[in-house]
């Protein structure tokens, strides 16, 4: 490990010493050096080591019971042995000598904030303290990374007795918003995989899952009031073979699609909540709406007919901004979305909406005239403002891609800056919250090495080092505006990603680098240190069976 802090080097030495103490006891598994990703704010090594066995006494405050249950289930799944869960300070352990882990809420440490934690590994046991349960959860993630990688395995074969170097860690995230996106429209991914993706987010202390649920090529979100959205809009007749740039275009001739049930969505939301992950659903408008228009063509400017797209790209047919039925429809859709997703935000897309149809459409022209708008860009802005009013009525906040700046931002909108950093800079300067997700660093559908060596991808080149070099807060912002940068997110668009294995390949290890960008302080990290820790961390991904891209 590269000692960007001298403490880390000392930890290594102590870790080695701790292992030496275990010599002669084959049931105790020696540990490799500490390699925590994302790297914590402060690590203070201490002398000695802590012995822990899977049947350890797990003591937890009332508020910490959920996190304790998560830890107990995880240990049991990997080792076949369930920790002995009891209230903090209560009961004696069923397995004397197995050690203890205590999870405690400490409201009097405001410095740690809503997500920070303090983790102490002493010879007498492990104590994790945090002002809030989310902090305890992140402390547990760090503790798991102090255990052998097999703790991440799914099937009972992991060693069940460990020696952990004594250490004190205090840690809190740099940014409030630490996100990963997944497009389930270009290709569909079932709930089992979504849960696995959420596990990967949790492992890396990421706290937001942006679920891209509607697109030109498929509508995946069940809406009871408008069943044709999934029945018709959920299926396309065929899919492009190879890359868009390969000419002539060839298609596979196979109907493709799928959608989630309400129960599955609820299951995902619950699973995410247990991992302190907020799910942000994205319902695209006014553009990227061809699947919806295939089901309800009367919502377009021309009346159709349409079919969900079989090619990738940007399409001229979008929701008609002059037709009030469109807003009644969207109000109905968003009402059901708001009901299923308890988080504060709904993402409404807003990107890549051609104005071709609006320029020709009498109803759109009439809307522009009646509302006193200058042009179609102001019509888009008017559209988004009207949607914001609907969302406010549902108690939700609007997020949109940075095109929602054009023609003027809706009053409370949060901007996700993707075409670069400028949209984010402009929005933050205007006092709006911003999430940075620029195509330059955060598009994990781009190649991660020279294309000749890689499976087909969208294009571009976003190496691991490039992701690691990302700085979400632009120097152009003054201190007040900088506070509006809530964090950053990476996006996994799936035009060229047709299997869970390929999602993993494209997302990891770049997700590990993003996690460090959004969690760790710049002064506490370096690329060299990260790469060394990633080497050990990869064993953890191996134990989970993740198809990550190897660092060669």
Residue (363 or 466) nearer to Zn ion, CB: 363
Choice from 44, 331, 352, 542 touching ligand ACM (CB under 6 A): 352
> Could you say whether residue 351 binds ligand ACM (CB under 6 A)?
yes
> Could you say whether residue 326 binds Zn ion (CB under 5 A)?
no
How near is the Cβ of 361 to Zn ion at its closest, in Å? 3
DSSP H or E segment with residue 7: helix 6-21
Using CB distances below 5 to 8 A depending on partner kind, what does residue 301 bind out of Zn ion, ligand ACM, none?
Zn ion
Using CB distances below 5 to 8 A depending on partner kind, what does residue 361 bind out of ligand ACM, Zn ion, none?
Zn ion
Q: Give the number of other Cβ atoms within 10 Å of residue 263's Cβ.
A: 10
What is the end-to-end Cα distance of the chain in Å, rounded? Answer: 18
> Could you say whether residue 320 binds Zn ion (CB under 5 A)?
yes
**From residue 350 to residue 389, what is the string marking binding to Zn ion with x (rule CB under 5 A)?**
-----------x-xx-------------------------
- Using CB under 5 A as the binding criterion, the count of chain residues that bind Zn ion stands at 6
Q: How far apart are CA 15 and CA 448, in angstroms?
A: 34
Using CB distances below 5 to 8 A depending on partner kind, what does residue 233 bind out of ligand ACM, Zn ion, none?
none
Instruction: Say which residues have a Cβ less than 8 Å from residue 458's Cβ, sequence separation at least 6.
Output: 443, 445, 446, 493, 495, 496
How near is the Cβ of 253 to ligand ACM at its closest, in Å? 28
How near is the Cβ of 319 to Zn ion at its closest, in Å? 8
CA distances from 297 to 214, 236, 487 (A): 16, 15, 38
Residue (276 or 345) nearer to ligand ACM, CB: 345
Using CB distances below 5 to 8 A depending on partner kind, what does residue 401 bind out of ligand ACM, Zn ion, none?
ligand ACM
Tokens at 352, concatenated: 């890549």
How near is the Cβ of 48 to ligand ACM at its closest, in Å? 51
Q: Cis omega (within 30 of 0) on the bond before 241?
A: no
Residue (212 or 525) nearer to ligand ACM, CB: 212
> Could you say whether residue 168 binds ligand ACM (CB under 6 A)?
no
Using CB distances below 5 to 8 A depending on partner kind, what does residue 351 bind out of Zn ion, ligand ACM, none?
ligand ACM
Q: Is 267 exposed, middle or buried (CB count within 10 Å of its CB: 0-12, 13-18, 19+)?
A: middle
Q: In the complex, which residue's CB is closest to ligand ACM?
A: 351
If you count them, how many residues does the chain have?
A: 552
Residue (491 or 536) nearer to ligand ACM, CB: 491
How near is the Cβ of 217 to Zn ion at its closest, in Å? 22
Do 101 and 128 touch, CB atoms closer than 8 A? Answer: yes
How near is the Cβ of 400 to ligand ACM at its closest, in Å? 10
Bridge partners, 122 (sequence order):
125
Strand 177-183 with 208-212, pairing: parallel
How near is the Cβ of 436 to ligand ACM at its closest, in Å? 13
Q: Give the number of other Cβ atoms within 10 Å of residue 6's Cβ.
A: 8
Q: How far apart are CA 552 and CA 533, in angstroms?
A: 15
Q: For the chain, what is the radius of gyration of the CA atoms? A: 25
How near is the Cβ of 506 to ligand ACM at its closest, in Å? 15
DSSP 20-82: HHTTT-TTSBP-PPP--SSPPSEEEEEEEEEEEETT-EEEE-GGGHHHHHHHHHHHHHHHS--
Residue (300 or 489) nearer to ligand ACM, CB: 489
Residue (352 or 378) nearer to ligand ACM, CB: 352
> Could you say whether residue 315 binds ligand ACM (CB under 6 A)?
no
Binders of ligand ACM among residues 399 to 458 (CB under 6 A) are: 401, 418
How near is the Cβ of 476 to ligand ACM at its closest, in Å? 22
Do 300 and 357 touch, CB atoms closer than 8 A? Answer: yes
Residues that bind ligand ACM (CB under 6 A): 351-352, 401, 418
Residues that bind Zn ion (CB under 5 A): 301, 320, 322, 361, 363-364
């Amino acid at each position: 490990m590269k000692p960007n802090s001298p403490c880390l080097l000392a930890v290594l030495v102590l870790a080695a010493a701790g292992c030496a103490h275990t010599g002669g006891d084959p049931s105790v598994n020696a540990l490799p050096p500490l390699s925590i990703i994302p790297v914590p704010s402060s690590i203070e090594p201490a002398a000695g080591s802590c012995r822990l066995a899977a049947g350890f006494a797990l003591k937890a405050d009332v508020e910490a019971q959920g996190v304790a249950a998560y830890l107990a289930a995880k240990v049991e799944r990997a080792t076949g042995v369930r920790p002995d869960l009891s209230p903090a300070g209560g009961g004696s352990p069923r397995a004397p000598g197995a050690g203890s882990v205590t999870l405690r809420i400490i409201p009097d440490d405001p410095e740690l904030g809503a997500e920070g934690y303090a983790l102490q590994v002493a010879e007498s046991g492990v104590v994790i303290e945090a002002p809030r349960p989310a902090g305890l959860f992140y402390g547990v993630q760090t503790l798991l990374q102090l255990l052998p990688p097999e703790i991440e395995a799914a099937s009972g074969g992991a060693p069940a007795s460990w020696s952990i170097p004594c250490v004190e860690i205090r840690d809190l995230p740099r940014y409030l918003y630490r996100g990963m996106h997944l497009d389930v429209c270009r290709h569909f991914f079932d709930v089992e995989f979504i849960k696995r993706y959420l596990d990967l987010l949790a492992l890396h202390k990421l706290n937001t899952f942006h679920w891209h649920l509607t697109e030109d090529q498929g509508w995946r979100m069940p809406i009871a009031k408008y069943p044709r959205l999934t029945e018709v809009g959920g299926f396309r007749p065929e899919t492009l073979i190879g890359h868009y740039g390969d000419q002539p275009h060839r298609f596979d001739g196979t109907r493709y699609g799928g959608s989630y049930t309400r129960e599955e969505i609820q299951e995902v939301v619950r699973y995410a909540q247990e991992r302190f992950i907020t799910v942000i659903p994205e319902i695209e408008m006014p553009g990227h709406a061809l699947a919806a228009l295939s089901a309800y063509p009367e919502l377009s400017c021309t009346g159709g007919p349409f079919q969900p797209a079989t090619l990738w790209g940007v399409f001229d047919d979008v929701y008609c901004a002059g037709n009030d039925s469109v807003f009644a429809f969207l109000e109905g859709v968003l009402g059901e979305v708001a009901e299923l997703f308890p988080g504060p935000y709904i993402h409404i897309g807003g990107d890549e909406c051609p104005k071709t149809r609006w320029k020709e459409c009498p109803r759109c022209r009439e809307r522009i005239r009646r509302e006193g708008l200058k042009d179609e860009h102001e019509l888009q802005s008017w559209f988004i403002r009207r949607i914001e009013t609907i969302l406010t009525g549902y108690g939700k906040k609007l997020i949109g891609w940075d095109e929602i700046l054009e023609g003027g931002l809706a009053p409370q909108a949060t901007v996700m800056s993707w075409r670069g950093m400028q949209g984010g800079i402009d929005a933050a300067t205007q006092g709006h919250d911003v999430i940075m997700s620029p195509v330059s660093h955060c598009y994990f559908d781009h190649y991660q090495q020279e294309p000749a060596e890689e499976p087909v991808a969208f294009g571009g080149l976003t190496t691991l080092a490039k992701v690691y070099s990302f700085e979400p807060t632009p120097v152009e912002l003054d201190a007040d505006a900088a506070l509006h940068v809530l964090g950053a997110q990476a996006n996994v668009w799936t035009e060229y990603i047709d299997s869970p294995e390929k999602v993993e390949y494209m997302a990891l290890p770049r997700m590990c680098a993003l996690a460090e960008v959004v969690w760790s302080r710049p002064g506490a990290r370096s690329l060299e240190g990260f790469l060394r820790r990633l080497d050990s961390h990869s064993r953890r991904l191996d134990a989970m069976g993740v198809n990550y891209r190897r660092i060669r």
